[in-house]
Homo-oligomer: A and B are copies of this chain.
Amino acid sequence: MKVVIDAFGGDNAPLEIIEGAIMALKKNDELEVVFCGDEEKIKNIIAGRETSRIEIIHAPDVILNEEHPTEAIRHKKESSLVKAFDALKEREDIIGLVSAGSTGAVLAGAIMKIGRIKGISRPALAPILPTKKDNDVIIIDSGANIDCKPINLLHFALMGSAYYSIIYNRENPRVALLNNGSEEGKGNELTKETFPLLKNAPINFIGNREGGDFMSGDVDVMVSDGFAGNALLKGTEGAVKAVVTILKGSIKKGFWSKIGYLFMRRVFKEIKNRVDVQGKHAGSPLLGCKKLVVKNHGCCKRLNICASIEQTLLLHKKQLNKQIEKALDNLNLTSISIGEGKSE
C-alpha cells in the first residue's frame, strides 16, 4: 500500500517528515512511500537506508504558509504539495496523502484535486486531543469550515462518528454538539437548528455540551462549526501550555521545589506525554474527501508523521469512506434542504 508524502511541507521539513516515513516503513511491511520534493535533498537524507519501498517524485518548489491557498494550488505546479495531490489523484496504487504544509493549501488541494464524497456538503478536519480520563476526544470541524449551515454539522457528526469508531475500535462513540449550555433549546441559530438533525441521525448523540466538557472524557466526538471549534481547540491547547509554563516557573523559584522536582521527573514526563496536544498523535484526516488526505500540525515531528502514515493504512483497511457513505445512506435526507457552508 502506497502513501504519498509532501516531504517539504511543515516547519521541520524535510528531515522530520522523511524520518517519520522511514520509521513507518520499518514498522509496516506492507507500506511503500512516495516522497514529493527536491530529489537531491531527499536522496541525501535517505542515503544508506533501505530504499526498495521508497519512490521519489521530483518537486523543486514549496508552498509557503503565507501564500493564498487556491492561487498556490493553481499556479505552483512544481511544488511538493501539488505534485503529491497530482499523484494521489492520478495513481490508483496510492491510497492516501500525508502533509504538514499550509492548512489552507492542503484543504484547497484536496477539494480542487480530489473532491468530496458524494453527498457530503463540506469536508472537515477532526484533530485528536487527550482527556483527563483514558479516552481521547476529537473535535470536528476544527477550522476548515468557518461559516457553517446545520447540514454541514450533521455531516461532521456522521463523519466524526465513523472516524472515531475506526481509530479507537469503538462502536457508537458519544457524539455531542458544542453549545453554550447543555439543556436542549440552548444555543445560537446554528446549533438550535442542528440539534434535531443530530437527534434523528444514526449516531449515538448525547446532546449539547459546553467547552468545559471537551477534556472531561465524557465526550468522544465534539461537533462544531469551524470557527467556534477552532476557538475551543486552540484555547485548550493554549491553556495546557500556560499551565505547564506557570508550573515550570514556580519550580525554578524555590530550592525545595527543585529537590521535589527531581523526585517527580517521571510524573512530569508522563504529564507531558498525556497532555501534549501534539504528542504522538497522528494528524487529522480531511474527512469527506474522496481519497485519504491527512493534515499534520505545521510543527509536527517524526513520531506524528509516522502515526499519520499508520493511521492512513488503518483508515484504508477499515474503509473509512465506505463507512461514511453507509452512514449517509442510513440518513433520510429527503426533508433536509442541503445548504453549503463557506470553506476556508
Contact = CB atoms under 8 A, between A and B. Distances in A.
A168 interface: no
B178 A231 contact: yes
A144 to B, nearest CB: 10
A259 B259 CA distance: 10
Given A147-B188, A257-B266, A263-B260, A215 B238 contact: yes
Contacts of A262: 260
A232 interface: yes
Interface in A45-92: 66
Contacts of A238: 211-216, 236
Nearest to A255: B263
Interface in A238-271: 238-247, 249-251, 253-254, 256-257, 259-264, 266-267, 270-271
A344 to B, nearest CB: 8
Interface in A155-207: 178, 180, 183, 187-189, 191
- SS class, residues of chain A in contact with chain B: helix
A224 interface: yes
Q: How large is the interface on A (under 10, 10 to 19, 20 to 34, 35 or more residues)?
A: 35 or more
A39 interface: no
A29 B1 CA distance: 78
A267 B254 contact: yes
Contact of A211 (B210, B215, B233, B259): B233
Contacts of A244: 243
A150 interface: no
A231 B242 contact: no
Nearest to A180: B230
A307 interface: no
A312 interface: no
A211 to B, nearest CB: 3
A254 B266 contact: yes
Given A256-B264, A264-B256, A264-B264, A214 B243 contact: no
Given A146-B187, A262-B260, A267-B250, A215 B239 contact: yes
A109 interface: no
Contacts of A239: 214-215, 235-237, 239-240, 243
Nearest to A144: B180
Nearest to A239: B239
A213 B237 CA distance: 10
Quick one: which of A227, A232, A235, A259 has the most chain B CB within 10 A? Answer: A235
Interface of A: 66, 131-132, 143, 146-147, 178, 180, 183, 187-189, 191, 210-216, 224, 226-247, 249-251, 253-254, 256-257, 259-264, 266-267, 270-271, 274-275, 342, 344
Given A215-B235, A250-B271, 6 more contacts: A132-B242, A147-B188, A211-B238, A214-B239, A257-B267, A260-B260
16 contacts: A66-B183, A132-B242, A146-B180, A146-B187, A180-B230, A180-B231, A212-B235, A214-B235, A215-B235, A215-B241, A229-B231, A231-B232, A231-B235, A239-B239, A246-B274, A250-B270
